[in-house]
Amino acid sequence: MKNNMPIQGRLYPSHYSLLYFIKGEKANTFEPDRLPAQTCPKCFGDLKDYGGYKRKMNPLGVNLTDVWYDIPPVRHRKYKKRNGANELSIKILDRIIELSTKEGDLVFDPFGGSGTTYVIAEIKNRKWIGSEIDNCEIIKDRFDNISEDKQHLVNIREKLNSLFPPAVRREREKNGLWTVESVRKNGTHDLKNKSSKETIEPAQQLKFIGDDM
C-alpha cells in the first residue's frame, strides 16, 4: 500500500493472512483466476521488463501466486459498507470463491461482518450460510442493494483472465506498445473469459512462460 499515514510505534498493517485447507489429497475445485500483466495506470506501459519473452506470455494472464498484491483494503467511502469495521474487499471473496467452489456449492462464513462473503456467494450462484453476533442490518441493506456489488464485481472481473484486458489493450495499441497480437503471428486466442482457457491445448500452455513474472 502506498501513501499510508504512519502509525506511532508500529508498522502499518497492510496484509491479511489466509489459511487454505482441503480435505483429502486434492481439492475438489481449484480454478484460480489469472491476472493481467502489471501496467502503468497512466501510460499503460509495462511495469516489468519481459525482454524477449513477450511472445511466450500466456494470453490469458499470469499465474496467481500465494501473495496477492492487487487487492487494497476497502477504504473508499463509495465501496465501504460498514464504517469502522474490518471489511473484506469483494475482490478477495470473489477470488477465494472462484478458486475453490463451483456454482451450486455451499460457502460458510461464520463471521458475517458486512456480509461480503454472502453477497459475493449469492451473485456467483453459490449457496451460503453465515452468522453474525452483531447487528445484521448492514448485511440486509447490502442485499437490498445487491445490484451495486454486482456491477462492482463485473468491473473487477472484466480485468481478469487476460494478459491485457480490452481497455488496457486499446490504450497500449494507441500508444504503440506491444500486445499479445502484435508479438504473436498466430495469436488468435479468445481473451475474453476464463472458460476460454480450455481452448488452449495443454501442450501449448506448457510453452507459455512468464507465468510467474
Residues that bind ligand SAM (CB under 6 A): 86-88, 109-111, 113-117, 131-134
Q: How far is the CB of 103 from ligand SAM (least distance, A)?
A: 21
Q: How far is the CB of 22 from ligand SAM (least distance, A)?
A: 21
Euclidean distance between CA atoms 160 and 66, whole angstroms: 17
Kind plus residue range of the DSSP H or E element containing 157: helix 146-157
How many helices (H) and strands (E) in the chain?
7, 2
Contact 121, 97 (CB under 8 A): yes
Q: Closer CB to ligand SAM, residue 32 or residue 73?
A: 73
Report CA 180 to chain centroid distance, whole Å. Answer: 21
Q: Closer CB to ligand SAM, residue 107 or residue 177?
A: 107
Q: How far is the CB of 141 from ligand SAM (least distance, A)?
A: 13
Q: Closer CB to ligand SAM, residue 110 or residue 187?
A: 110
Q: Closer CB to ligand SAM, residue 57 or residue 90?
A: 90
Q: Closer CB to ligand SAM, residue 39 or residue 117?
A: 117
Q: Closer CB to ligand SAM, residue 67 or residue 133?
A: 133
Q: How far is the CB of 201 from ligand SAM (least distance, A)?
A: 39
Q: How far is the CB of 140 from ligand SAM (least distance, A)?
A: 13
The three-class DSSP label of residue 35 is strand
The three-class DSSP label of residue 108 is strand
| Adjacent-strand bridge partners of 109 | 130
Nearest Cα residue to 80 out of 88, 71, 70: 88
Q: How far is the CB of 35 from ligand SAM (least distance, A)?
A: 21
* Residue with nearest beta carbon to ligand SAM: 113
131: Cβ–Cβ under 8 A, 6 or more apart, which residues?
Answer: 110, 111, 112
Report CA 70 to chain centroid distance, whole Å. Answer: 8
Contact 207, 58 (CB under 8 A): no
